[in-house]
Amino acid sequence: MTQARRTFLVMLGVPGAGKGTQARLLEEALGIPQISTGDLFRYNLKNQTELGLLAKSYMDRGELVPDEVTILMVQDRIQREDCQKGAIFDGFPRNLVQAVALDQMTAGDGGIRRVLMFNLDDDEAMRRITGRRTCPVCGTVYHVDYNPPKVEGRCDLEGAELVQRDDDKPETVKTRLYVYYKQTSPLVGYYFAKGLLTEIDGTQPIDEVQAQLLAVVQSEPVA
């Protein structure tokens, strides 16, 4: 029996553009998992693994964690059982070395199915990131103004006290935006040239972005 081609999607855009929020919603809608390299690093950090401690020094500065460890971590992650139908990459790839590695990892499935590029200007990205709050238990992401929890400061699902990420402070965000333009933005051209890029207006409210995304993804032919 031939196995169906897996669906690999990539979310691209500045920090704060809404990649994680949309990846989680799409995960539910499509039944394929979100792979967030930022979340994987934070998980490792919480568990005090060697990888987590290495990643921390880069994350604290807003710089990219070295490619070698990042790529190995993703390779390991996509071999897990829950990725048998595919995966939604959020925050990976972040430079051309990682993009080429992802092409190789997905080659057996005909490559990446589509790249969703979220457009948002820097001022709005800054407002989104500085107002971002996360549940330390389930990882649900909120915004103090744009997407507040029902009870201020508490997760709707877990009741846990929401936290602000250490790297979501304005000084670090500036470095992250710089790193995005220098290292990640060339991927827009890379994927455009491959005919894989779809631009999404990231300024729309969360549910409208979701509707637009679903329309794009569901119009893709499924092998």
Give min distance, CB of 44 to ligand ADP, in A.
11
Interface with ligand ADP includes 213 (CB under 6 A)?
Answer: no
Interface with ligand ADP includes 65 (CB under 6 A)?
Answer: yes
From the list 93, 106, 118, 84, the residue with the least C-alpha distance to 216 is: 118
Interface with ligand ADP includes 56 (CB under 6 A)?
Answer: no
**Cα–Cα distance for residue pair 69/211, rounded to 1 Å:** 35
The one among 49, 82, 205, 220 contacting ligand ADP by CB under 6 A: 205
- Neighbour-count burial of 15, counting CB atoms closer than 10 A to its CB (0-12 exposed, 13-18 middle, 19+ buried): buried
How many whole angstroms from its chain centre is CA 154? Answer: 23
Give min distance, CB of 137 to ligand ADP, in A.
17
Interface with ligand ADP includes 70 (CB under 6 A)?
Answer: yes
State yes or no: cis peptide before 93, omega within 30 of 0.
yes
Lookup result for tokens 């549940």:
135
The secondary structure of residue 161, as a DSSP letter, is B
**Cα–Cα distance for residue pair 155/58, rounded to 1 Å:** 28
Interface with ligand ADP includes 209 (CB under 6 A)?
Answer: yes
Looking at beta carbons only, is 32 or 177 nearer to ligand ADP?
A: 177
Interface with ligand ADP includes 184 (CB under 6 A)?
Answer: no
Which of these segments, 62-70, 156-164, 193-201, 211-219, binds ligand ADP (CB under 6 A)? 62-70
The one among 64, 88, 116, 197 contacting ligand ADP by CB under 6 A: 64
Q: What are phi and psi of 144, to 5 degrees?
A: -60, -35
Q: Which residues are catalytic?
A: 19, 94, 132, 165, 176
Give min distance, CB of 102 to ligand ADP, in A.
10
The one among 9, 59, 88, 99 contacting ligand ADP by CB under 6 A: 59
Interface with ligand ADP includes 43 (CB under 6 A)?
Answer: no
Q: Which residues bind ligand ADP (CB under 6 A)?
A: 13, 15-21, 37-38, 41, 58-59, 62-65, 70, 91-92, 94, 98, 128, 131-132, 141-143, 146-147, 167, 176, 204-206, 209
